[in-house]
Structure 1
Amino acid sequence: MDERPRSRDVARRTLLQAALGAPVAAAAAPAVLGTPSAQATEATAPGGGPVDAHSPRFTLAVFPDTQYLLDEGGSDPEPVRETLRHLIRRRQQDNIVFLAHLGDVTEHGTEREMRLADQVFATLRGKLPHSVLAGNHDVPSGGDDQRGDTPYLRTFGPRRFAGMSTYRGSSPDGYHSHHVLDAGGRQWLLLALDWRVSDQGIAWAQQVLDRNPRLPTILTTHDLVAPDDAGHAALSDHGQRLWDRLIRRNDQIFLTLNGHYWPAGRTTLVNDHGNPVHLHITNYQDRYYGGAGMVRYYRFDLARNTIDVSTFSPWLLAGDPARRSTLEAETVELSGEADRFTVELDFAERFAGFAPPSPPPARPARSVLVRGTVAYWRFDRDGLAGAGTDGAAVAAGTVARDLSGNGNDLTVTHLHASPPDVLTWSADHHQAQPAHASLRFGGGRNPDRGAVLRTSATAPLTRARFESGYTIETFIKLPDPFEGDHAFMGILSWEGRSGDAGKTSGWSPDEPTCSLNLSGERFLQFVVYPVDRDADPTSWSHALPVGRWTHVAVVNDGRRTVTYVDGSRIARNADEDSRGITTLGKPFAIGGTQFAAEYGQGYYGWIGDTRIVAAALRPDQFLTAVR
């Protein structure tokens, strides 16, 4: 189940919004602590301001074995220093929320080497939260985390991390720590475990997980998976123990990172809950110049449901490209399948077992009746008679009330003697929609069928001209699979012929004066005949996805029209001037568009809350804005 680097058209762009678990209190520090010079109080990124904890894109930096560069027998710590300086310089731009070192900081773990490591890592003091764990070259390799005092513990023990905002505590022995990261609008747990975890260490890690049951977890350690000759990876002996005793049992752990072995490799295993766990080796000490301070970026993108991984040497990047030697040019950035790849991960689905998303609750109609609201329809019990049974047919003659109080009620009409199931009630809805309900339309052509909800011919909306501007909003969802020919099906419209309004310059005098439709390529088409000219400014979107809810807003400021999809302005908005909507005193309808004053096919898919406002609203005023 190894993930492969490949491109992907991502179907969902939804931020994870999950309830956050409370972080566990910091464990008591052992008697043996880091040197005073190692203490730090974290600050924002110097010269660039703080990272953005709410952005759906953030970076976890991973620094593998640096032992050959911090070796008292002869080494060069400058590549390590430059990597740390690079991370500080780029912290805000790359939204780097944390740095995890994977162990083997030094070659021999001596007092002298640890003093050097202390000086080098002091670069991060107060500037970037981080963890450093012990590898087999940092401590006596014959024991586990119960080994007691070492130069490593005095340098990278709990006291070093105590001032960081991410730090939540260490194990009693001091060799394990855990951090809580604020990123992507939620919290994440990072475990930094010793290279040999005792039974006591496993019990401590389990306690941390138990106290933070809703936090997705990244486990870092030095020895977990080892590479094979094909660039993949398999559990080492110690890794098998961690997998069986800790990782596979805890669904929270979705990603593990380790060094120790080379070359780099990765694999995916399935835990006891049936979910994938991604296990990666990151180590470049076998490469030119002891790895040249190579660092790996894990760029989380919660909107695209991906983790983009890249590996490069900031030290080599800082040099003059024209003067790079052959080995430097080959090492500056790595592009092999184990070094640069994308992990595709549906975060909401993967975390649903322990941290299910908490969508906003339904909002009452009064909360979205902004100034200038002309009409507002929703299909829950507040707005639709008989709503409440998923899949139940909505009978002809059923009324959807205009909750604005302006009298623009809608009445269900079945087209072309369509069967009762052509319109059904549904509990499906956009997660940001005020009402947790929608209508499922079963329209189609050959033969024409469908259903529409229409105002009466005397409703105020039939005569409204909107010359000072307007906003028309709705939520739609297209079925997956999207079967059949539904080209230019109508979503909403005003009835009547544009030709009867004296409009002759458009595509056809038989089309209505205003309609929102979907082309055969699933492009939105908003066409309007303004009141001040004989023209039909038309806006077109990109191809809409299937199987997911989409919010659509058409905004006119009295001069021009701009269409938004999911809060984003589309490219193909009409340049022509456009003031108001020409109306003929004919009904407004949801679920279809007339041609030559007759309905053909009806809409195919779901429609949710729909609102019309006699003003140009900003995106932060749309129905999706949860206040």
Structure 2
Amino acid sequence: MRESPSRRGFLQGAGLVGAGLVSGATTGALLPAATLAWRRIGDDDQGTDPDSPRFTLAVIPDTQYLFDGDRGDSEPLAATLRWIVAHRAERNIVFTAHLGDIVENAAAGELAEAGRVFEILDRRRVPYSVLAGNHDIDQSTTDQRGPSHYLEVFGPHRVRRLPTYGGGTPDGYNTYHLFTAAGRQWLLLALDWRPSDGTLDWARSVLAAHPTSPAILTTHDLADADHTGATWLSGHGQRLWDRLIKGSDQIFLTLNGHFWPPGRLVLRNDAGRDVQVHITNYQDRYYGGSGMVRLYSFDLARNTIDVETLSPWTLDQPSERRNALARREVELTDPANRFSLPVDFAERFAGFAPVTRRPPRDPAAVVGDGTVAYWRFDQGRRDGEAMPDGFRVEDLSGQGNHLTRVTLPGSPPEALRWSADHHDDQPAHASLFFSGGRRGRPSSHESQPARGGYLRTVDGAPLNAATFGQGYTVEAFVKLPVDVRETDSGGMGILSRFGAGRDAGKTGADPAEPIALLGLSAGMALKWAVFPVELDGIVANWGHELRAGEWFHVAVVNDGRLSTLYVDGARLLRNPSVPASGLATSGESWLVGAYHHDRIVQQGFYGWIGDIRIADRPLPVDRFLRA
């Protein structure tokens, strides 16, 4: 909270700085992180999962009114800390950060009482950090102020036994912490109310010592806000921005209390990347903020940070006993306190921790497991160069199931061209772009032919006659253009077996449909529709609609009886229980990038197709091309 130095006197303490601090000059001094064993924290089933892509950072701002001489109530903070312990595994709460102003008057008794409450975390070795706000120390000084009652209770000695503790400044008022979440190491800086110039040098040295760790900066005073939603850097916050944050690309999120109401802004650092600057403080609300906790739920799979704010102390109260004010404080759902942040984590961290792309894999590394056809499009051609008409794509399985280009009438050579675009887990770092379209709908005046180009297996290829009685696996990498839904491209075929059902002796369902089709519906939902050997009709597996502008690995696995559809290794829902053994055949070619009906190609594919593999047996997910 804002206040002048005259509001209260500073209570000089005689306690010594806690053990475990570095010695020597502040600049560049780091504590050896011998205690940092990266593992699941905790000794029981309340531990966290360091590999889950979803994890939570709990943030507790100014609790000063709960510890205010002979006024206040420590129970709201105690309820919050108990809630964190109880929900640690469920919410994957990997770390808790207090933003300062733990108490109101920096009094020894107040700090001791707050220290007893924090034993709730200490007893379970739940990782956390604290830092001094202006109400916890002599606010007229920097972190070179010397001993204090704050250091006696909340100095680094308190948290140094935690596996997340990294080190601190010699003065004891600044610490850094390391935790593992989403399979990587993260760094959190906990800086004093007024860090000295030497401390800013120290912070830069901490970042330099952990050059690939994304960093969160916590401090008491950085951003201010008003009730219109406007947010800006405070005077001291501008100093931190200019001297530390804007030049440190690792710092992507800053959190502070002190001011109210809550607010946030986005600033661009020297690297041209976003820094989220957030202020959160609830001391002005009912019951001194009711021990409010803000939860930052990171989801790296969704590239999102979900933020919510709640009061566990109020939640603990029986609903019928909550007063009118408490009922409004159970959870804050206004836009300032409940929101989601889209963050492309890979892009945001690319400047200091670029994602190591998987290198191309040699065909020999993926041919096997009963592979009867393997096609890839890395023949060394230039990106965007048209594939010549009649060009042959070799079957790298060695089975002789080669492909040749076919151009639909009236289509240009560029309707089928080489591309360097590819799925990150694709063995070949190349694909083909198919610029196809559908056959015009018949009318009384005209009917336009399908356009584009496609590939077909050569005459006499063994694959043309294969019936796969022992099961099969079909895989492909696919990407749809961003405008695919605006171009009337529904109903496309990724891979199909030429010949209508009737050509294979099938009379059920629609005998004009392809004998086998891996394709997309009008709404871009994945489907696998086939005439099995022993059935007269079609058996179809359905998936969900595929997003445009994104690569997917698609696969269908038949175990000799049932077929199952997968996208990116995930089993889909609409897989029928109807037995579908083998694949019927008319002995004709397989087509890549075309849909046909009644023996007429109705549509050329629109999008990218990468590696395709067909095996004569069911393969487990961990043997897919993307594995």
- What does residue 610 of structure 2 align with? 608
Q: Report the counterpart of residue 63 of structure 1 in structure 2.
A: 60
Return the match for 1:97 from 90, 94, 97.
94
Task: Select the residue among 53, 77, 87 that pairs with 2:50.
Answer: 53
Q: Tell me which residue corresponds to 2:530.
A: 528
What residue number does 2:75 align with? Answer: 78
> In 2, distance between residues paired with 1:216 and 1:371?
41
User: Alpha carbons of 1:208 and 1:178: their partners in 2 closer, same or farther (altered >3 Å)?
Assistant: same
For residue 45 of structure 1, report the CA deviation from its aligned partner.
4.2
1:447 CA displacement: 4.5
Question: Quick check: 1:373–1:404 contact (8 Å CA) kept in 2?
Answer: yes
Aligned position for 2:432: 439
Secondary structure of the equivalent of 1:88?
helix
1:299 is matched with 297
Q: Contact conserved, 1:474 with 1:608, CA < 8 A, in 2?
A: yes
Correspondence for 2:364: 366
Structure 2 distance, partners of 1:240, 1:294, is 27
CA distance in 2, matches of 1:540, 1:108: 65
User: Superposition RMSD on alpha carbons, in Å?
Assistant: 2.0
Cross-structure match for 2:489? 486
Q: State the partner residue of 1:18.
A: none
Distance 1:40 1:418, change over 3 A: closer
Selected match of 2:581 from 579, 582, 591:
579
1:397 aligns with 2:390: yes
3-state SS, counterpart of residue 92 of structure 1 = helix
Q: Report the alpha carbon displacement of residue 515 of structure 1 after superposing the two structures with TM.
A: 0.8
Where does residue 315 of structure 1 map in the other structure? 313
Render the CA deviation track for 1:156-179: whole Å, top value 9, x for unaligned. 222222222222111222211111
Q: For 1:255, what is the secondary structure of its paired residue?
A: strand
Deviation at 1:129, TM superposition (A): 0.8
Which residue pairs with 2:543 in the alignment? 541
Q: 2:195 aligns with which of 194, 197, 215?
A: 197
Contact 1:516 / 1:524 at 8 angstroms: preserved in 2? yes
Q: State how many pairs are aligned.
A: 587
| Alpha-carbon contact 2:377-2:432 (below 8 Å) kept | yes
Instruction: Quote the Cα distance in structure 2 between the aligned partners of 1:157 and 1:602.
Output: 69
State the SS of the aligned residue for 1:308: strand
Deviation at 1:144, TM superposition (A): 0.7
Matched-pair contact (CA < 8 Å) for 2:36–2:165: no
> Retained in 1: the 8 A contact 2:22–2:167?
yes
Residues 596 and 43 of structure 1: is their aligned pair in 2 closer, same or farther, counting only changes over 3 Å? closer
- 1:389-410 CA distance string (max 9 Å, x none): 1111111222222222222121
The answer on 1:476 being equivalent to 2:478 is yes
Rounded to whole Å, the distance in 2 between the matches of 1:131 and 1:233 is: 25
- AA partner of residue 86 (structure 1): W
Q: Deviations over 1:185-214 (max 9, x none)?
A: 222221111111211111111122222232
**Aligned residues of 2:385 and 2:417 also touching (Cα < 8 A):** yes
TM-score, normalised relative to structure 1: 0.90
In structure 1, the gaps of 5 or more residues are 1-25, 32-38, 382-386
Partner in structure 2 of residue 511 of structure 1: 513
Q: 1:128: Cα distance to partner?
A: 1.3
Comparing 214-223 with 595-604, which one deviates more in the overlay? 595-604
Correspondent of 2:402 among 391, 398, 409: 409
Q: Distance in 2 between matches of 1:40 and 1:303?
A: 26
Tell me, yes or no, if structure 1 residue 426 matches structure 2 residue 419.
Answer: yes
Aligned partner of 1:456 in structure 2 is 458
Q: How does 1:176-255 map to 2 (within 5 A)?
A: 176-255=174-253
Q: Which residue of 2 aligns with 1:163?
A: 161
What's the offset of the Cα at 1:603?
Answer: 0.9
What amino acid is aligned across from residue 211 of structure 1 in structure 2? A
Match of 2:599 among 594, 597, 609: 597
Shifted more, 205-214 versus 528-537: the winner is: 205-214
Change (3 A) 1:227 1:50: same
Superposed CA deviations along residues 203-255 of structure 1, whole A, max 9, x for unmatched, are: 11112222223222111000011111213321111111111111122222111
Contact 1:145/1:194 (8 A) holds in 2: yes
Q: Distance in 2 between matches of 1:571 and 1:337?
A: 35
Q: Output the CA distance in 1 between the equivalents of 2:242 and 2:559.
A: 62
Query: What is the percent sequence identity of the aligned residues?
Result: 52
Deviation at 1:341, TM superposition (A): 0.8
* Local SS of the residue matching 1:127: coil
CA displacement, residues 545-572 of structure 1 (integer Å, 9 cap, x when unaligned): 1111011111122222221122222233
Deviating more after overlay: 415-424 vs 435-444: 415-424
Residue in structure 1 matched with residue 502 of structure 2 by the alignment: 499
- Gaps spanning 5+ residues in structure 2: where? 1-19, 26-34, 439-447
Letter in 1 for 2:434: F
Q: What secondary structure, in the 3-state scheme, does the structure 2 residue paired with 1:121 have? A: helix
Asked whether the equivalents of residues 30 and 174 of structure 1 are also in contact (C-alpha less than 8 Å), the reply is no
Distance in 1, matches of 2:288 and 2:403, equals: 73
TM-fit CA distance, 1:525: 2.4
My pick for the range that moved more, 240-249 or 566-575, is: 566-575
Q: Is the 8 A contact 2:36 2:166 kept in 1?
A: no
CA–CA distance in structure 2, aligned partners of residues 124 and 520 of structure 1: 55
> Is the 8 Å Cα contact of residues 45 and 91 (structure 1) preserved in structure 2?
no
Aligned equivalents of 1:256, 1:349: Cα separation in 2: 19
Equivalent-residue separation in structure 2 for 1:58 and 1:119 (angstroms): 27
What is the CA–CA distance in structure 1 between the aligned matches of 2:88 and 2:219, rounded to whole Å? Answer: 24
- Matched residue, 1:119: 116
Structure 2 Cα separation of the partners of residues 477 and 43 of structure 1: 37
Which consecutive segments of 4 or more residues in structure 1 shift more than 6 A? 39-43
Q: Is the 8 A contact 2:299 2:305 kept in 1?
A: yes
* Other-structure match for 1:28: 22
- What secondary structure is seen at the aligned counterpart in 1 of 2:334? coil
The answer to whether residue 90 in structure 2 is matched with residue 87 in structure 1 is no
Cross-structure match for 2:7: none
TM-score, length-normalised on structure 2?
0.90
Aligned to 1:12: none
Q: Secondary structure at the match of 1:525?
A: strand
User: What is the rounded CA distance, in whole Å, between the counterparts of 2:164 and 2:287 in structure 1?
Assistant: 32
Structure 1 stretch displaced more, 219-228 or 362-371: 362-371
Partner AA of 1:533 in structure 2: L
Q: Distance in 2 between matches of 1:552 and 1:466?
A: 19
DSSP 3-state at the match of 2:417: strand
Deviation at 1:282, TM superposition (A): 1.1
Q: SS where residue 376 of structure 1 aligns?
A: strand
In the TM superposition, what is the alpha-carbon distance from 1:47 to its structure 2 partner? 4.7
- What's the offset of the Cα at 1:72? 3.0
Distance 2:247 2:24 in 1: 29
Pair 1:306–1:545, CA change in 2 (3 A): same
How far the C-alpha of 1:301 sits from its partner, in A, is 0.9
Q: Is the 8 A contact 1:363 1:434 kept in 2?
A: yes
The residue identity in structure 2 corresponding to 1:76 is: D
Offset at residue 319 of structure 1 (A): 2.1
Q: Deviations over 1:495-527 (max 9, x none)?
A: 1121021211122x2222101122221122211
For the Cα contact (< 8 Å) 2:21–2:172, is it kept in 1? no
